[in-house]
A and B are shown apart, each in its own frame.
Chain A
């Protein structure tokens, strides 16, 4: 039930530009889904702005502090689905102190009266308390979909209230959160007559849930399409779940480990054989070569295989992949080594995205993948356009070869795990590597750099990366000039995050004109001072310039700086260690 708008007065009707009534326009615009398109639509003229705001049902807010809940509900009266992102991305890596903010409650307080029919809430890096979850469950009778990614502040008790009280829940997606796991009892809180669930992802919760409850839930939710179980679910239990839900499209297996008899193994294989709709597979926490073949029958239509928690060896991967000819996205651990990646190159011609995570995410250490692995993939997978690659050694030549083979990269995130490591063969900096990336990949939207880098890298970026939207920098650059090049040269830059690099006030202030067209800037452990930040704040009143101050020892340095545009003014809920200048 959309709120009705007032009819235009006769005078206004005469002056209008569009030849058809508002209702028609709204209807047409209802088909426009993309946020960017909707923004464009709203800028055409007043009528279109008006029609757009009345017809919009989904809003995406990339920085929860860029706008206030009041402003949001004031502009968009008919929202059903809200996506909010909170903390700066580096909070994922513990660079942002807890209690920083981004609490959902202040939004819920406003939504409860403005959007009583709210159906979906998708949050990333927000703080969500059990009280908020409780409030959500009780205040929004139509609530359907809850997705929490990398959030914190809640426990499994909060999930229990969602399960118990959201009668129309279709989606519960809990991913990689800082959750307090008080046990698996929450799953048993879904009422016996509850059948609407379509998406259930609790793969990242550690406590064991009652398998009995889970099995019955799966059995009665006939529309279940996505089930991602946690690692306590054994092979045998998995087989039983699969036999209840052969219609699954996305599956997160449990541990995939157990002492199986031959008969049980055959049952499992049969169960997988019946899953003809599976296009996404993940989990496999403890999969061994012994039981992996059981899932081969289900891999024929797989487009996304997430093995990033399964420590597979190269041989196991090499045997698995030929069964997945349609694979488009692959996430693996670096335990598969270069040899495993060679198998990727030869078995996955349609691959578009490759992410290789480190099994041992430490500086130093050994093993993992090298530059050869990435090169091997690029040779066989010409459609590759997204990579996240953690490695311990890299060369300029290898990167050049990779982008030569795959010039369509849109996301190139290379993480050489030892900070400031040069090309290990030539001992030179890695400037040329990223130079080749930006020169060759003209569609590049997202770049993360690593290794030993001078200002030259940033000169290249500024000169060539004209479509770049997100840049992540760590331990790189030699002077202010580096950052200046980027700010001056990349017109589409929206997010810039920098840590531990020698950029100071001059660099910060060179972007004065840019920051209002960007979502945010993060600089930590750089050379920026409080005075520099104050100057920025003074010159650009529509930016929020925040400094996170964690200890008292040095008052002149701005240890962590977060700058973002906002129409909501300075934060009203900032904790004492966040100074708004």
Chain B
């Protein structure tokens, strides 16, 4: 079944990890579909079209572009996405992964294994079956049986496949088509075997790239004003020192935490077991505040829709808006929150 694509206000949970990874993997910040490769500018526009829909949806025009995460051959026909619960076998070994490593099927790319946001939301989101991590996943359809490949997948040396971890959103799809293969492998629960704590920490403070080797001198800086509704004064941040939305979000959280502590207590954000997450992060990702920016044309936009590079290029100022003011701007944010809570 087809469910529409959902973007939350900051797009972190679906788009930005993809963005992140795409940045890490390729210089192109858009998707890596072959057909779009030659139309760079057009591609970007397509990329930035606002799409609405719930998680798990397949957006037809985007079939080969950013949009879908398809899980091995089998799932395509089902037209839904697996949350990583690749239901396994009747006869033993899991299929999806072995299919995937055939190299011929479509690869799934689901963002960082345990994308920052999902991981940092605590607990066992990483494993769809893993206990209580399912809050946000429960919105989505997660009982899909793996169709198709009950097959004889066991080639001589191919062992059982892992369960690819999905965060809920469609991501960049088969990058395989043009030599981006290593980038788009199926993410697997609990693999590589790194403790959650470390994974989260690395996710929120990603490794510096080579250009940082000389220290923090950037090639320039891009200071923009940041205002927060209700705060007595504004701040300025240098967008150039962040490389993705998560970093920006964390930095803003730190900056403005003093203004929201009062709300933290009364908000009653449900405690999450497992991994830690500051209350403010919950707030910002929750329904209280929405992060918006003013772009070159003077329009107020939702942060998170466009690739990071494009965002830094067009952002003139930031505003942390109260959720109530953001009606119309981020309709999904409310819904998302309800689902999450």
A binds B: yes
A positions within 8 Å CB-CB of B: 90, 92-100, 150, 152-153, 155, 176-182, 204-207, 257, 285-286, 288-290, 308-309, 311, 313, 315-316, 333, 335, 357-366, 390, 392, 415, 417-420, 429, 452-454, 472, 474-478, 499-502, 504, 525-527, 550-551, 553-554, 557, 559
The answer to whether B161 and A500 have CB atoms under 8 Å apart is yes
The answer to whether A363 and B192 have CB atoms under 8 Å apart is yes
The residue in chain B whose Cβ has the minimal distance to the Cβ of A358 is B192
The answer to whether B194 and A357 have CB atoms under 8 Å apart is yes
The answer to whether A527 and B21 have CB atoms under 8 Å apart is no
Bound CA span A362–B111, Å:
9
Bound CA span A186–B184, Å:
43
The residue in chain A whose Cβ has the minimal distance to the Cβ of B188 is A363
The answer to whether B183 and A92 have CB atoms under 8 Å apart is no
The answer to whether A92 and B195 have CB atoms under 8 Å apart is yes
The residue in chain A whose Cβ has the minimal distance to the Cβ of B163 is A525
The interface residues of chain A lying within 8 Å CB-to-CB of B272 are: 180
Kindly state whether residue B333 has any CB partner on chain A within 8 Å: no
Q: When A429-B157, A502-B159 are in contact, do A357 and B198 touch as well, CB less than 8 Å?
A: yes
Total number of A-B contacts with CB less than 8 angstroms? 226
The interface residues of chain B lying within 8 Å CB-to-CB of A181 are: 276-278
Kindly state whether residue B231 has any CB partner on chain A within 8 Å: no
The interface residues of chain A lying within 8 Å CB-to-CB of B199 are: 361
The interface residues of chain B lying within 8 Å CB-to-CB of A98 are: 123-124, 130-132, 273-274
The answer to whether B130 and A97 have CB atoms under 8 Å apart is yes
The answer to whether B196 and A94 have CB atoms under 8 Å apart is yes
Select the residue from A454, A525, A553 with max chain B CB neighbours within 10 A.
Answer: A525
Kindly state whether residue B328 has any CB partner on chain A within 8 Å: no
The interface residues of chain A lying within 8 Å CB-to-CB of B158 are: 420
The answer to whether B215 and A94 have CB atoms under 8 Å apart is no
The answer to whether B113 and A361 have CB atoms under 8 Å apart is yes
The answer to whether A475 and B183 have CB atoms under 8 Å apart is no
The answer to whether B278 and A207 have CB atoms under 8 Å apart is yes
In the assembled complex, how far is the CB of residue B276 from the closest CB belonging to chain A, in whole angstroms? 4
The answer to whether A553 and B87 have CB atoms under 8 Å apart is yes
**What 1/0 flags go to B264-281 for Cβ under 8 Å of A?**
000000011111111100
**Segment among B32-40, B203-211, B294-302, B318-326 that sits at the interface with chain A:** B203-211
Bound CA span A176–B274, Å:
11
Instruction: State which of A178, A290, A362 has its C-beta within 8 Å of the C-beta of B275.
Output: A178
Q: When A289-B215, A452-B157 are in contact, do A360 and B193 touch as well, CB less than 8 Å?
A: no
The interface residues of chain B lying within 8 Å CB-to-CB of A206 are: 276, 278
Bound CA span A501–B163, Å:
12
Bound CA span A502–B98, Å:
12
The answer to whether A366 and B182 have CB atoms under 8 Å apart is yes
Which residues in window 148-207 of B have CB below 8 A to A? Answer: 154, 156-163, 182-199, 201-202, 205-207
Instruction: State which of A176, A286, A315, A366 has its C-beta within 8 Å of the C-beta of B195.
Output: A176
Q: Can you spell out 15 A-B residue pairs with CB atoms less than 8 angstroms apart?
A: A93-B196, A94-B124, A94-B196, A178-B196, A179-B276, A180-B271, A181-B278, A204-B201, A285-B205, A311-B205, A316-B213, A357-B194, A415-B192, A501-B159, A554-B89
The answer to whether A500 and B194 have CB atoms under 8 Å apart is no
Instruction: State which of B97, B133, B161, B183 has its C-beta within 8 Å of the C-beta of A365.
Output: B183
The answer to whether B159 and A477 have CB atoms under 8 Å apart is yes
The answer to whether B159 and A182 have CB atoms under 8 Å apart is no
The residue in chain A whose Cβ has the minimal distance to the Cβ of B183 is A364
Instruction: State which of A95, A286, A316, A357 has its C-beta within 8 Å of the C-beta of B190.
Output: A95
Select the residue from B162, B195, B213 with max chain A CB neighbours within 10 A.
Answer: B195
The answer to whether A454 and B130 have CB atoms under 8 Å apart is no
The answer to whether A177 and B190 have CB atoms under 8 Å apart is no
The residue in chain A whose Cβ has the minimal distance to the Cβ of B181 is A364
Kindly state whether residue B101 has any CB partner on chain A within 8 Å: yes
B positions within 8 Å CB-CB of A: 21, 24-25, 85, 87-90, 92-94, 97, 101, 109, 112-114, 122-124, 126-127, 129-133, 143, 145, 154, 156-163, 182-199, 201-202, 205-208, 210, 212-216, 271-279
The interface residues of chain A lying within 8 Å CB-to-CB of B198 are: 176, 308-309, 357, 361
In the assembled complex, how far is the CB of residue B330 from the closest CB belonging to chain A, in whole angstroms? 27
Instruction: State which of A94, A285, A333 has its C-beta within 8 Å of the C-beta of B127.
Output: A94
The interface residues of chain B lying within 8 Å CB-to-CB of A309 are: 198, 201-202
Q: When A178-B196, A180-B273 are in contact, do A363 and B191 touch as well, CB less than 8 Å?
A: yes
Bound CA span A390–B161, Å:
20
Bound CA span A550–B87, Å:
12
The answer to whether B160 and A527 have CB atoms under 8 Å apart is yes
Instruction: State which of B25, B185, B197, B216 has its C-beta within 8 Å of the C-beta of A363.
Output: B185
Bound CA span A363–B210, Å:
21
The interface residues of chain B lying within 8 Å CB-to-CB of A180 are: 271-273, 276
Bound CA span A357–B198, Å:
9
Bound CA span A268–B268, Å:
42
The interface residues of chain B lying within 8 Å CB-to-CB of A417 are: 191-192
Bound CA span A464–B31, Å:
49
The residue in chain B whose Cβ has the minimal distance to the Cβ of A552 is B143
The interface residues of chain A lying within 8 Å CB-to-CB of B87 are: 553-554
The residue in chain B whose Cβ has the minimal distance to the Cβ of A575 is B131
The interface residues of chain B lying within 8 Å CB-to-CB of A363 are: 113, 185-188, 191-192
In the assembled complex, how far is the CB of residue B17 from the closest CB belonging to chain A, in whole angstroms? 10
In the assembled complex, how far is the CB of residue B269 from the closest CB belonging to chain A, in whole angstroms? 11
The answer to whether B156 and A182 have CB atoms under 8 Å apart is no
The answer to whether B130 and A478 have CB atoms under 8 Å apart is no
The interface residues of chain B lying within 8 Å CB-to-CB of A153 are: 273
Q: When A93-B194, A206-B276, A500-B162 are in contact, do A364 and B156 touch as well, CB less than 8 Å?
A: no
Bound CA span A227–B163, Å:
40
The interface residues of chain A lying within 8 Å CB-to-CB of B124 are: 94, 97-98
The answer to whether A501 and B160 have CB atoms under 8 Å apart is yes
The residue in chain A whose Cβ has the minimal distance to the Cβ of B164 is A363
The answer to whether B187 and A99 have CB atoms under 8 Å apart is no
The answer to whether A359 and B192 have CB atoms under 8 Å apart is no
